[in-house]
Each structure stands twice: as structure tokens, then as C-alpha cells.
Structure 1
Amino acid sequence: MTDPAGPRATPTPPTSAAVARRAGVSRATVSYVLNGQAAGRVGERAQARVRAAAEELGYVPHAAARSLRAGRGSIVLLAAPADTVPVLGPLFTRFLAGFQTALHALGYTGVLHGAPTASPLAAARAWAELRPAAVLTLHGPPLDAPAVALLRRAGTAAVLTHGPVAPPGAHTLLLDQREAGLRAGAHLLAGGRRRIGVVLPAEPGLAACAGPRLAGVRAAAAAHPDAEVRPLDLALTEESAARLAAAWPGLGLDAVFAYNDEYAMLLMRALQDAGHTLGVRAPGDVAVVGADDLLLGRLLRPRLTSVRAEITPPERIAGLVDELVRGPGTPPAVHRLGTFRVEARDSG
């Protein structure tokens, strides 16, 4: 519905000058107080007047202007393709929450950015518009040398991208997904399993983890001449799991590493539902291993065996980012995000 009074002008945000007039102080005093630099410069009563005036006016400092004055930005951009964020799972969500809290304590603002996936350079251009102090790509297509160079020219002090290898000028954050598959494969092989299926999710954006995990299982199986590893396509739906379960007798597999706990629980339930018809017991005839060690998998009966990621505390990663922002000439290095181990339970 059209406003009879006509289009309304966008309200002008209050300025630091308005706060200074309301509080009866100089703009420099307002800057000292609202930027946490008042100690030894501004008395307590004047500080109180400035804060009260800012509250009354609804004044919020301009982040971009403050960044220009400080000589560096305060945004730490965490890049993940938009279509993968909902399926990255609780492990990523917990890390993100802790990381953003730690960044805030250090004076930064963490921003999750659904990056364009057309090319690394297109993504870097979109990120550079925000003038971030640091960029972390924790998932999705890795950056390349031109993308890193563009970010550095735009003033980004630290670029960190997921491994195993980073382009020139960027630091590597390594959580080796191949190790997850290696641990799962070694566990199943030690239990006497020799025909191992590895779930490759049909959902978009997960190939960056699924491929290395499959390679890890294959590396574990290479030490056993009688071992076989077979990729299995599976969508995170009951219908897809039922189709895979119905085909199971013809696959001849006695174990499965199901990418993560959600796929593992879904497939194990489908195998159990079809077990009487197929003559297949899961667990028993089929060992099932997931990953991420979700609480739900531990509450399940039979309890789910899972590959657990031992992640570096997010406070340490936030501290690393702060060090790199303050020392932009720090030579690129590999920084491990964690390791993996198997939590053996009832399912395999």
C-alpha cells in the first residue's frame, strides 16, 4: 500500500558531533570514551555523560571510519559457500559459535559470508568489498594465488585457507579429512572387515570432505591385499537409504564408513528395517562407522561407532588470527585445526 504522505526519507543516523553537543564535551572526548581509550584522559563524570548521550541518541560508531583511523579493519570474514552451511553439521556450528565469541573478546567482528562459487577471484572480490582484517576459508573451493593477491592489495592482513596446501601468501588451516577416513578404515580392517563401503553424500558442497575421506579408507586398505573399498552414493533421505539397503545383498559389503553420524544412523536404520527381508544384520553382518561423534549417536541403540575430531580450541585460532593481523609480514605456515580418533561402540 502506498503511503499517502509520499515516500519517507531514510533517517540520518546520529553522529559523534551530536553526542558531543548533547554531553557538552569535545568530539575527541567522545572518541576516547566510545573507543575504550578514556583512561587517564577523561574523568568518570564526563565519561558517564558521553555514554548517556550516546544511549539517548542511539549513536553507534561507524565501523568503516573506525577501521580507517585504526589503520586496520575489525571484520574477520569466515567464508563458506551458502549451499553448504546448513549441512556442515554441529561440529562446524560449535566451532563457529566459540570462534565468534573469542573474536569479539579481541575486538573483532566475525562475519559468516556465503561466498560466490563461480571462481576464487570472484569470491575474493566480494570479500574485499568489506575490507576485512582477515579472511578464513574453512570449507568449499580453496583460494588460488590471484585471489590471495587481490585480498592483500585490498588491505586484508591475514588470509587463511583450508589445506592441505595453501597458495602463496596464505596460511594453511589443516584438518586433514584423509586422516578421518584412514582412522575409520584402519578400525574396520582391524575388526576383520574386508569389503568396505564408503558413503559419498549426494548433497552439494560436501565433496571437499568426502573425497579425502574415501582416499583415507583406500590408503588403509592398501596394506591388505584382500580388502576392497567401494564408493556408495547416498542422499540424506529415507528413500535414498531404503534404495541402498535394498541393493545391499548384491554389493557383498561387510562394513560401511558413512561420511558422518547422520548418514550412518540413516543407513543403519534402513538396513535394520529391511534386515528380515534381506537376511542382513546391522550391526553384525555389516559394521557401521560414522563421524563427528554426535550425542544422538551415543544415545542410539545399538550405539554408533564414530570418528571423533579433536579440534583446536576456537580461542587459540582466534588468537592466531589476531597475531597474524598485527603482524601481516608473518611468513605463511601450516596450522593444524585438529586430529581424529575412533570412538568404538556397538555398531562396528
Structure 2
Amino acid sequence: MSQLSEQPTEGPVPTSADVARLAGVSRATVSYVLNNNAHVRISEPTRRRVREAADELGYVPHAAARTLRAGHSRMVLLPTGNMPTGPLHLRFLHELEAGLRHLDYTVVQYGSLGLGADDAARAWAELRPAAVIVPGSVPLAPQGIAVLRRSGAKAVITLGPQPVEGAHALIMDQREVGGCAVRHLLERGRRRIGVVMPDDPGAAVFAAPRLAGARAAAMTGGGRIEALSLRYDEESAATLAARWPELGLDAVFAYDDTYAMLLMRALQDVGVRVPADAAVVGADDSMLGRLLRPRLSSVRMELATAQPLADLVDRLVRHPRTPPERHDLLRARPVRRESS
């Protein structure tokens, strides 16, 4: 006959009243300390005593209850769709999350693929976030902004190439990326330039303005642009490389470093010399591109902000009646290496 192992019994969930009794303070003091309320003066010994009591009891504040009391949470919601994964966006996310955590916010990513603009806004509003930062690849309309505002969101912020009416805008104007790449190629004497357009709907929000920027730079500098569709697989790259002689191009801006590396390998496989026959430029300035031979020229993108991003979000949350602001974040510069 088998004997079941004894399972530990769970005791009652500790409350703020339990913490207050153990620390010898009021429940209000517990709330002020554990919610990091900087507007109430509490001595450091008292704060330490409350935290030690909470640790001993295993108590943490109830986020849902705090949200009900305040009408909103300390949550900053970051909807995700077909978000880019380049170094710039990773730096953006890391800087934002670290800064907001320091300010006692929690950044929550919310999968929004498959949701229309109205359904997405309603789904986000159910969580009662203090702020929502919406990437350009995720749909948002003025009606959705109104829904979020009515649900208690203090700041609705878009992150993308174009602003949305009624929201604050963090602008990453991708036209500058394409323009920067083409100006570099024109300076190197190239005039017949292909621009890779990924055969991926999720990349369109970035690829289309990069192509527009490339065309504007070519028009000014006397170059010619041809858009080149490319799937991210070896077969598609080989097909495009086989057409290279008939295309008559002497350079290519390949959307980003991953597409540049894919196409450069295919061009080399069919005997196209890089850069003698075709100069190649990517974007993102990835480490892997520097390890290729020839080393990959690229466009380095950097954040250009007057204040830390977390401080900007916090200011907009604390002043919810601030009229919509626009902040241009993207700065691009060419990084010349052997491939161009």
C-alpha cells in the first residue's frame, strides 16, 4: 500500500494589517512604504521596519486592489505585434524598462497580433494601465485613444514613423535610414541602386519609409532606385542574385544587416564581386556584419532624446492634460566598411 507524501498546508494570505501589527505602525504607513510613496515623509528606520515585517510575512501589495483605489495601475503597457528586433529597438526597450522600474512602474508586454485597432484598444484598456506605448506595427486609431483615456490611461504614446491624432508621438523616421544609406553609396560613386523590400507584411511599416528616403536622396544626388522584393530565405536570395546582370545595378541597400548578409552571400555565389561589381549596405550595424568578409557597411541608428525616455513617460503620466507632444528619436549615420 503506497503512502502519499504529506503536502504542506497553506496558511492564510498575509495582509497589510498583519504587516502593520508586526511593524507597530498604521496600515497607511505600510501602504506608503511598500508603494514607494515619495510624497509622505517617513523616517528610514520606520521604512526599514515595515519592509522587514513584509519580508518576514511574505507580504506583497495587491496590485488589483491598488488599481481599484487609484483608478489606474503603475503599469506601462507595451503592445507587441511585428516588432523589429534590431539593436536600436532592443536598446530602446532595455533603457525604457530599466528607467521605469527605477520610477516604480512595471512594463508589461501584451501580444496584440490578430487584433484590430478597436479590439486592441479595448483589450489594453481592461488592464487599466497608467500609460500605453504603441509601436507603429500595432494598429491604433483616435477612437482607440479615446477608449484608453476613458479607462483611466494617463498617457497614450505612439512609437513609429508617423504620429496618431490625439496621442503623444515618439517618432522614429525611417526615411532617414534609407536616405543615409543612399547618400553614402552616391558618395562612393554608385548611381544604380537597388533597395531590398522584405517580402514580409510585418516589415512594411519600416521598409516603405526607408524606400521613400532612399528615393528622395537618389533624386537629389542623381541616382536611380529600383525596389527589390526579397523573402528571407536562401532560395529567394539566389533567384535575385541570378537576375543581377539584367538588373544593371551597381549597389544595394538591403533594408537591414540580416537581409544584406543574405543577399551578399548569394551575390558572391554567382560570381558578383562585392564591392567591385556591387556595393552592399545594410542597417543596424550588427556585430555579425562586422565578422563577414568583406566586412559589411551599415547604417548605425541611435536614440536622440533630450531626456531619459522613462522620465518623459513619467512626466506625461503625472501631467495627463499635457497637449500631444512630438519627440524625434532617430539619428542615423553611415558606417563605411569593405562592402561599399
Q: TM-score, normalised by structure 2?
A: 0.88
Q: Which residue of 2 aligns with 1:62?
A: 62
Q: State which drifts further: 287-296 or 63-72.
A: 63-72
Please, what is the CA RMSD of the aligned residues?
2.7
Q: Please state whether the residue corresponding to 2:249 is helix, strand or coil.
A: coil
Q: Which residue of 1 aligns with 2:195?
A: 198
Q: State which drifts further: 100-109 or 300-309.
A: 300-309
CA distance in 1, matches of 2:252, 2:296: 12
CA distance in 1, matches of 2:11, 2:123: 28
**What amino acid is aligned across from residue 259 of structure 1 in structure 2?**
Y
Does the 8 Å CA contact 2:169/2:325 hold for their aligned counterparts?
Answer: yes
Q: Please state whether the residue corresponding to 2:146 is helix, strand or coil.
A: helix
Q: How does 1:78-227 map to 2 (within 5 A)?
A: 78-81=78-81, 84-85=82-83, 87-223=84-220, 227=223
Q: Please state whether the residue corresponding to 1:162 is helix, strand or coil.
A: strand
Does the 8 Å CA contact 2:116/2:139 hold for their aligned counterparts?
Answer: no
After TM superposition, give the deviation of residue 213 of structure 1 in Å.
Answer: 0.6
2:228 corresponds, among 206, 216, 232, to: 232
Q: Does 1:253 align with 2:245?
A: no
Q: Which residue of 1 aligns with 2:327?
A: 335
**What amino acid is aligned across from residue 19 of structure 2 in structure 1?**
V
Q: Does 1:50 align with 2:73?
A: no
Taking only the aligned residue pairs, the percentage that are identical comes to: 57
Q: Which residue of 2 aligns with 1:289?
A: 281
CA distance in 2, matches of 1:67, 1:292: 39
Q: Please state whether the residue corresponding to 1:309 is helix, strand or coil.
A: strand
**What amino acid is aligned across from residue 336 of structure 1 in structure 2?**
D
Listed one character per residue, the Cα deviations across residues 267-303 of structure 1 (whole Å, up to 9, x for unaligned) are 112211221xxxx212210010100111222233222
Q: Does 1:19 align with 2:19?
A: yes
5+ residue gaps, structure 1: none
Q: Which residue of 2 aligns with 1:317?
A: 309
Listed one character per residue, the Cα deviations across residues 174-203 of structure 1 (whole Å, up to 9, x for unaligned) are 111011111112221222222211111123
CA distance in 2, matches of 1:235, 1:285: 23
1:266 corresponds, among 262, 268, 291, to: 262
Does the 8 Å CA contact 2:298/2:336 hold for their aligned counterparts?
Answer: yes
Q: Does 1:34 align with 2:34?
A: yes
Does the 8 Å CA contact 1:180/1:307 hold for their aligned counterparts?
Answer: yes
CA distance in 2, matches of 1:216, 1:291: 14
CA distance in 1, matches of 2:203, 2:11: 44
Q: Which residue of 1 aligns with 2:77?
A: 77
5+ residue gaps, structure 2: none
Listed one character per residue, the Cα deviations across residues 222-269 of structure 1 (whole Å, up to 9, x for unaligned) are 2356x4322222222233322222222222211111011111112112
Q: Please state whether the residue corresponding to 2:282 is helix, strand or coil.
A: strand
Does the 8 Å CA contact 1:29/1:42 hold for their aligned counterparts?
Answer: no
After TM superposition, give the deviation of residue 158 of structure 1 in Å.
Answer: 0.9
Aligned residues: 334
Q: Does 1:344 align with 2:336?
A: yes
Q: Please state whether the residue corresponding to 1:272 is helix, strand or coil.
A: helix
Q: Please state whether the residue corresponding to 1:308 is helix, strand or coil.
A: strand
CA distance in 1, matches of 2:57, 2:201: 46
CA distance in 2, matches of 1:250, 1:274: 13
Does the 8 Å CA contact 1:99/1:314 hold for their aligned counterparts?
Answer: no
CA distance in 2, matches of 1:186, 1:77: 38
Q: Please state whether the residue corresponding to 2:308 is helix, strand or coil.
A: helix
Listed one character per residue, the Cα deviations across residues 59-86 of structure 1 (whole Å, up to 9, x for unaligned) are 11122332444564211112221xx24x
Q: Please state whether the residue corresponding to 1:97 is helix, strand or coil.
A: helix
